[in-house]
Amino acid sequence: MEFFDSLIRDVSLLTEPLVKKEYAFSDSELWQDVGYSQVILQRDTASELDGTGFNLVTSSPVEDGIVVIGDDLQHIEGKRKFARISLVQIESEEDEQKAYNLIRKIEYVKYHHFPDGYMIRTSSRSHKEAVRVSKTAVKNGISFQKIGSLLINKYKENPAVKAVKVIFITDPAADHAELENMAQKNNRITETLNHIMNSVTFDCDTCNLKPICDEVEGMKELHFKNAGMNR
């Protein structure tokens, strides 16, 4: 599973010069998941984070952990630009359909976890991710390490997930416009996989997804294989 590896390299290059704090994943430091979507009113809000959230799935090695670039939740007031990127290592899978199904299951996690006092607004159709953090959660010691550990634990409920690194970015110095571009490209790769794996046959010369097939290593080969076409 290498379709997202170029984006993982891009994320590494973008974040490499920025100041980071790195934390180990700990299943004893999980923030509570309340099991349902909470509503946090404006008067009860300590901070609002607005930006992107996306997963990058790979079979290349990833180390479990949480990376925080910028202020942690207890030090943010008001509104702040934000990104959450999850690098998810899965078992190498030769069966493309099984690998694709696994990507969809991993995507499901991003909008089906419910941290207490951390209201996430996202959509299966969008890379946008907005978070509202309650004053009570801040008082109770919420942190990205605890939120990230909860998220890693959720991903690892799937036995095919071997390791996860969650990167939270709140640093205003980060190139949030480029992070938005990466999130959009991630969506286009996933959309292209959707077309290929659903056996949609189309004329490559007129398809609006052709740039992704041309750019992402292995994508065009997968398309031809699934469509029963010869190169």
Q: Residue range 97-117: average pLDDT?
A: 87
Identify the pLDDT of residue 92.
81
Distance CA 134, CA 140 (A): 10
| Identity of the amino acid at 68 | V
pLDDT grade for 122, boundaries at 50, 70 and 90:
confident
Identify the pLDDT of residue 219.
46
Identify the pLDDT of residue 74.
96
Distance CA 78, CA 81 (A): 10
Query: Per residue in 43-73, pLDDT tens?
Result: 999 999 999 999 999 999 999 999 999 999 9
Distance CA 57, CA 100 (A): 10
The contacts of residue 112 (CB under 8 Å, 6+ apart) are 154
Instruction: Tell me the residue ranges of DSSP E strands in the chain.
Output: 21-23, 45-58, 65-69, 78-90, 118-122, 128-134, 161-169
3-state secondary structure of 103: helix
Distance CA 76, CA 129 (A): 17
51 closest CA partner among 34, 64, 70: 70
Sequence-separated contacts (24+) of 126-130 with Cβ below 8 Å = 126/187, 127/52, 127/53, 127/54, 127/180, 127/183, 127/184, 127/186, 127/187, 128/51, 128/52, 128/53, 129/51, 129/52, 129/53, 129/54, 129/82, 129/84, 130/48, 130/49, 130/50, 130/51, 130/82
pLDDT grade for 170, boundaries at 50, 70 and 90:
very high
Identify the pLDDT of residue 223.
46
CB atoms within 10 A of CB 32: 15
Look over the chain and give the mean of its residue pLDDT values, rounded to a whole number: 86
Domains observed in the chain: 5-173 (3.30.1650.10)
Distance CA 216, CA 209 (A): 11
